[in-house]
Amino acid sequence: MDDAEEVWGDVPVRCRSVAVAVLTAIGERDAEVLLVQRGDGSYKGEWTLITGRVERDETAWQAALREVHEEAGLSLAALYSAGFCDQFYSPSLETVEVVPVFVGVAAPKAQVVLNGENSAFQWSGLRDAADLMPFHGHRVALDIVAREFVHKYPAHWRRVSEA
């Protein structure tokens, strides 16, 4: 192997989690997004989208549906791909994490019921929600969600599941 081919190090890229922006409606400028406040861990007290791990033998979109149900007690009317993946470097794990972002539409008059992972929830306009979020990738995701799902109706090919 010559110097041009020599590898000095490798930072693994992993996709183990999903994030979901749950909206009250799509194609409506007054749509709101569900924020949950983390109940424990290093991000205790921070407002975020619903997030969670992909389990064995589960697709990313199946994990998105499951996490929304587990964390907020919601069944979704529809699930879409946001067409965006959050990505960040984790110094504690020495990995680059890639997180697909989904957009869920809450069933009409759905009642949020939190599990123990989160301490509070709120429905918020997308601009206000972005101001509350600590994660850059979630703020970027909300800009995309506003442009592609709130200010207009999303393209049919974004739909993942009838949920």
- Pairing mode, strands 32-38 and 118-125: antiparallel
Domain that holds residue 124: 14-161
**Averaged over 45-49, what is the pLDDT?**
94
Q: Assess if residue 6 is contained within a domain.
A: no
Q: Which residue has the higher pLDDT, 64 or 93?
A: 64
Q: Assess if residue 1 is contained within a domain.
A: no
- Can you give the pLDDT at residue 40? 85
The per-residue pLDDT for range 95-152, each reduced to its tens digit, is: 898 999 999 999 877 899 999 889 999 999 999 999 999 999 999 999 999 999 999 9
Q: Assess if residue 141 is contained within a domain.
A: yes
DSSP string spanning 112-126? P---TTEEEEEEEEH
The domain total for the chain is 1
CATH number of the domain that 112 lies in?
A: 3.90.79.10
Q: Assess if residue 102 is contained within a domain.
A: yes
Q: Model-level pTM?
A: 0.89
Q: Assess if residue 7 is contained within a domain.
A: no
